[in-house]
Amino acid sequence: MIIEAKNVSRTFRSTKKAEGFKGALGLLLKPEYQSHDAVKNVSFSIEEGSFNGLIGANGAGKTTLLKMLSGLIAPTSGEVRVLGYDPFKRPIDFRKKIALVMGQKAQLWWDLPGVDAFDLLRAIYDIPSPVYKERLNRLAELLDVTKHLNTQIRRLSLGERMKMELIGALIHWPKVIFLDEPTIGLDVLAAHKLREFLKEFNRVEKATIILTSHNMEDIERLCSRVLILKTGEMIYDGKPEGLTKKGECRLRVRLMQKPTADELAGVSGVPAAAIKTPNGGPEADGEAEAEDEAEGHVDRDSVYFTTKVDLIPTVLQKLMAKFTIVNMGIEEQSLESVIQRLYTQA
């Protein structure tokens, strides 16, 4: 196991500040603290050479966890081991073997071409010249930025800039790579290229990668394993396929009549909990609607049944016997919608 976390928690304590000068004075004299658990009792272990996705809504504790793994902050309790080291002690050997890429924080010089920045990293990581040259050529080729190596970073597009950041992060051939939202702000094509590269790098170099992202395509295409955090707690750890139940789908039916969920359950044989009606029903709270809007196909007049594919004909027959169907359709369950449901579930 290359990374191990045992019962890791992280609590932040911050001072409450009241308004204005009086508040500032109060802060000096009698500070009031509020604590906030960013990560709660999380345990997992990660195999060498695996590609892992870490997902969760904003503020779920992803970045905090990543920072603990890369040694930027110490866990409040629990134990973290990365490559056999205690990350927070940050021994030099540990730092030489890891890389942290933050999509929102650039480490390269704005006014310099990429090569010069990489040259500095070469000195920092003590990379012998021939090895450095070979790696740089390979990375640049894989990422298709060879012709941009001598262009000022500021003159590059966001996608090219991110590729440069990646080269900078990988030039020392890290064993463990932490990627915090590497595809943020990138267009579809650029994100796709980046993903292809990461996949290739992981496959060929056997580097262990942990990636956080809000882009479900990143997770679907790359990760053999997903860890899902929700308000600091781990709510899922396993294969991405395990999230979407095999053979299950959503049946959308538009009826002339307006029956309640219980009536529908009685008629169709599908449990009421798996039915969503336009005028209420178990799933029709505000959050679930928000979820549908995010999916981009809100049909407020339709009823949704979540059920097994092979049961659909039976359900339809039963419904047709009692109601008039105006319109209908079957929808796949995407990873995105499943995860959105996980985020919003209480």
Partner 1 sequence: MNTLAKLLRVYAVQIKNNFVREAVYRVNFLAGMATDVVWIGVEFTLFTVIYANVPQLAGWTKPQVYFFLGIFFASDALFTTFFQRNFWNFSDLVNKGELDILLTKPVHPLFLALTRWINLTNLFNLALGLGIVVRFGPEAGFQGGWRWLVLAMWLLVGMSTQLLLRFAFSIWIFWTERSWAITRMYYQFFQFATKPDTLYPKMIRYLILTALPFAFISSIPARALLHGLSWGEYAGLAAVLGCFLAFNTVMWRLGLKRYQSASS
Give the residues lining the site for partner 1 (CB under 8 A): 12-14, 38, 63-64, 67, 70-74, 90, 92-93, 95-96, 98-100, 102, 105, 107, 109, 111-113, 116-117, 119-120, 122-126, 152
Q: Which is nearer to partner 1, 63 or 277 (CB)?
A: 63
Query: Min. distance of Cβ 161 from partner 1 in angstroms?
Result: 15
Query: Min. distance of Cβ 232 from partner 1 in angstroms?
Result: 11
Query: Min. distance of Cβ 101 from partner 1 in angstroms?
Result: 9
Per-residue DSSP letter, 300: T
- Report the distance separating Cα 161 and Cα 147, nearest Å: 13
Q: Which residues pair with 180 in a beta bridge?
A: 102, 212
Query: Min. distance of Cβ 25 from partner 1 in angstroms?
Result: 15
Query: Min. distance of Cβ 155 from partner 1 in angstroms?
Result: 11
Q: Which is nearer to partner 1, 92 or 189 (CB)?
A: 92
Query: Min. distance of Cβ 20 from partner 1 in angstroms?
Result: 15
Q: Is 312 helix (H, G, I), strand (E, B) or coil?
A: helix
Residue with tokens 């500021």: 154
Task: DSSP for 161-208, please give it.
Answer: HHHHHHHHHHTT--SEEEEESTTTT--HHHHHHHHHHHHHHHHHH--E
C-alpha dist (Å) from residue 45 to 23, 48, 149, 238, 245: 45, 10, 37, 11, 24
Q: Which is nearer to partner 1, 152 or 224 (CB)?
A: 152
Q: Which is nearer to partner 1, 65 or 265 (CB)?
A: 65
- Report the distance separating Cα 176 and Cα 82, nearest Å: 8
C-alpha 310: how far from its chain's center?
A: 32
Q: Is 237 helix (H, G, I), strand (E, B) or coil?
A: strand
Q: Which is nearer to partner 1, 71 or 182 (CB)?
A: 71
Q: Which is nearer to partner 1, 62 or 276 (CB)?
A: 62
- For 114, phi then psi, to 5°, come to -55, -45
